Amino acid sequence: MTRTAIITGSTSGIGLGIAEAFAAEGFNIMLNGFGDADEIEATRAELDAKSAGTVAYNGADMTKPDQIEQLVLQTEEQFGAVDILVNNAGIQHVAPIEEFPISKWDAIIAINMSSAFHTIRAALPGMKKRGFGRIINIASAHGLVASPYKSAYVTAKHGIVGLTKTIALEAAQDGVTVNAVCPGYVLTPLVEGQVADTAKARGITEDEVKNDVMLKAQPTKEFVTVEQLGAVCVFLSTEAAASVTGVSMPVDGGWVAQ
């Protein structure tokens, strides 16, 4: 039987890396995210060609509960089930709280935290009915520890950790596991852009930004890779991980061990 995974925010970055890992294992995949329509279709077609399963796309806006519900319904209608739900969609904004735009706060809470509530609420009944489900919430090291100037992001990711524990307890006897993956810094294209911008703003080299700013908190001094995160998510979706639930798993080069 081919399992089906929804991965939110999967048209680029961490989400796309997770989708690639699931495609390599032959899952059906429902991609989701924003971007250029032609580029998204090219990504979908490439993943579809790599996977023994089928790769589809739904452009649900993760700030819109009705669109999130339709994302789950479309996946169930097309593939018969949502077996794995990976809540990955997220945005970021950095500013002192007294300067933090209210609109940015609202958007980050909606996309990074509330969207996971809405997807789980829609997908969990079917998982319980079938006696199988894997819910994986992509939190962050910032779901376990804080950094300044990231009030909305840290709040949302701490909320994701709490949501993970709560739903894990609610679904513990239904064959459904719920876990959070907490990455440290990942060198995605978005972060690459931040490296260049930070280097210019501070008058330092890009290597200095990576080593002295971004990787300052990561004892390994190595960025987490999307391939590593994808492999962790695939593992959490297996029968071997059936007793792993309610866990917030750091994949952070030792960040939160300090």
Please identify which of the residues 57, 149, 153, 185 carries the catalytic annotation: 153
CA distance 175 to 110: 28
Which regions of 88-146 does DSSP assign to beta strands (E)? 133-138
Query: Three-state DSSP class for 250?
Result: strand
Q: 138 near 252, Cβ under 8 Å?
A: no
Q: Active site includes 153?
A: yes
Residues ≥6 apart with Cβ < 8 Å to 228: 251
CA atoms within 13 A on the CB side of 255: 27
Query: Three-state DSSP class for 29?
Result: strand
Which regions of the chain does DSSP assign to beta strands (E)? 4-7, 28-32, 55-58, 84-87, 133-138, 176-183, 248-251
- What residues are annotated to the active site? 153
